[in-house]
Amino acid sequence: MAMTRIETKARAGLDAETLRLMYRHMLRSRLLDERLWVLNRQGRAPFWISAEGHEAVQVAFGMNLRPAYDWVAPYYRDLALTLVLGMTPKDHILSVLQRAADPNSGGRQMPAHYGCRRLNIITTGSPVGTQLLHAAGIALASRMRGEDAVTLTSIGEGGTSEGDFHEALNFAAIHKLAVIFLVQNNGFAISVPWQKQMATQDVADRAKGYGIPGVIVDGCDAIACHRAAREAVKRARRGDGPTLVEAKVLRLTSHSSDDDQRRYRPAEDLESEKERDSLLRFKATLEELGVLHAGDAEEMRSELVLELDRATDEAEASPLPSPDSAMLHVYAEPEG
């Protein structure tokens, strides 16, 4: 199958309300992300791993799914995706502050190990790539029951070197399962550049080897991402099988709060990436299209900051887990 490159097409049939909502979702994720960095640098949160630079593609895919009907097997940078599906900033602040009420894990896992049963977002661990096979299994179950639910799973380009990546794509392709494999390629696996991860220019090239379509999209172009997402979801939903989507994104921050990318990336690269930030680009596009007017973005920002302030206060007032609760949930509690 041919590999296709999806480009921006004016507004791709999206109405003003949808475009504004996309921007709002992106901004909400970015502001939350920045807040979590602040909590980390203030010493109130031991760890954060960011989604900055990945928002556009995550929002585009999230908005094309049916929350709580479709399934998501996320990876650790999927902050914006979880927000679009219905998780809240407070949920993630609770996680970063390790509170008992954290819906992802009750403070058991590091932050950004997402999961929420109510929304069909499966729990994620730290080993890279294992979730792709879970996505294939989820889609197998949907297929066997005759449901048209779509399963989206994410991974970085580094994760595509794992054996589970190959095994999952192969299995989903054999059985034409309704899985979308979204590779968010930011060019770096911690410090290792993509050239040391693969000999091909594009991850999407590999789709040919599985007999499925491979799609490349500029992951900082929100409208192009929306088109790519719509196509992949449609294809999966109608039973035509999986798509491998490669979104070229930016990693605007270090790998995590424990990393300093200035040690392995030239300063000029880091500067030029800031100029390609999807939030700046999308805002400019929406202003050109007359969808956002002077002051709109600032108004949105103040609303969202207010939401974040409230969420931070509430999360900080929320209790830590009790020590003996560590013994719970190893197995199902005995009945009766």
137 part of the interface to other proteins, by CB under 8 A: yes
Instruction: Select the residue interacting with other proteins from 40, 104, 160, 257 (CB under 8 A).
Output: 104
Burial pattern 134-172, b for ≥16 Cβ within 10 A else e, equals bbbbbbbebbeeeeebbbbbbbbbbbbebebbbebbebb
For the record, the structure tokens of 11 come out as 């507004």
Question: Amino acid identity of 146?
Answer: G
Instruction: Select the residue interacting with other proteins from 58, 142, 186, 197 (CB under 8 A).
Output: 142
The whole-angstrom distance between residue 291's C-alpha and the CA centroid of its chain comes to 25
For other proteins, give the closer residue by CB, 57 or 116. 116
239 part of the interface to other proteins, by CB under 8 A: no
CA-wise closest residue to 173 among 245, 242, 246:
242
328 part of the interface to other proteins, by CB under 8 A: yes
As a whole number of angstroms, the distance between CA 330 and CA 192 comes to 36
320 part of the interface to other proteins, by CB under 8 A: no
**Residues of span 75-94 touching other proteins by CB under 8 A:** none
CA-wise closest residue to 63 among 186, 177, 227, 219:
227
144 part of the interface to other proteins, by CB under 8 A: yes
End-to-end CA gap in the chain: 55
**Residues of span 107-126 touching other proteins by CB under 8 A:** 108-109, 113, 115-117, 122-123, 125-126
Q: How far is the CB of 288 from other proteins (least distance, A)?
A: 43
**CA quadruple 128, 129, 133, 136: dihedral, nearest 10:** 130
Instruction: Select the residue interacting with other proteins from 138, 178, 182, 223 (CB under 8 A).
Output: 138
List all residues 6 or more positions away from 193 whose beta carbon is below 8 Å from its beta carbon.
187
As a whole number of angstroms, the distance between CA 103 and CA 7 comes to 37
The whole-angstrom distance between residue 205's C-alpha and the CA centroid of its chain comes to 22
- Residue 275: CB atoms within 10 A of its CB come to 8
For other proteins, give the closer residue by CB, 163 or 323. 163
Q: How far is the CB of 27 from other proteins (least distance, A)?
A: 29
139 part of the interface to other proteins, by CB under 8 A: yes
As a whole number of angstroms, the distance between CA 316 and CA 320 comes to 9
Instruction: Select the residue interacting with other proteins from 50, 82, 98, 105 (CB under 8 A).
Output: 105
Residues contacting other proteins: total by CB under 8 A: 45
145 part of the interface to other proteins, by CB under 8 A: yes
For other proteins, give the closer residue by CB, 262 or 329. 329
Site mask for other proteins (CB under 8 A), range 167-186, x = bound? xx-xx--x------------
329 part of the interface to other proteins, by CB under 8 A: yes
Instruction: Select the residue interacting with other proteins from 135, 155, 183, 244 (CB under 8 A).
Output: 135
Instruction: Select the residue interacting with other proteins from 127, 193, 209, 239 (CB under 8 A).
Output: 127
As a whole number of angstroms, the distance between CA 146 and CA 149 comes to 9
Asked whether the beta carbons of 120 and 69 are under 8 A apart, the reply is yes
211 part of the interface to other proteins, by CB under 8 A: no
As a whole number of angstroms, the distance between CA 283 and CA 146 comes to 41
Catalytic residues, by residue number, are 251, 255, 264
What does the binding site for other proteins look like in residue numbers (CB under 8 A)? 71, 73, 102-106, 108-109, 113, 115-117, 122-123, 125-127, 130, 132-145, 163-164, 167-168, 170-171, 174, 328-332
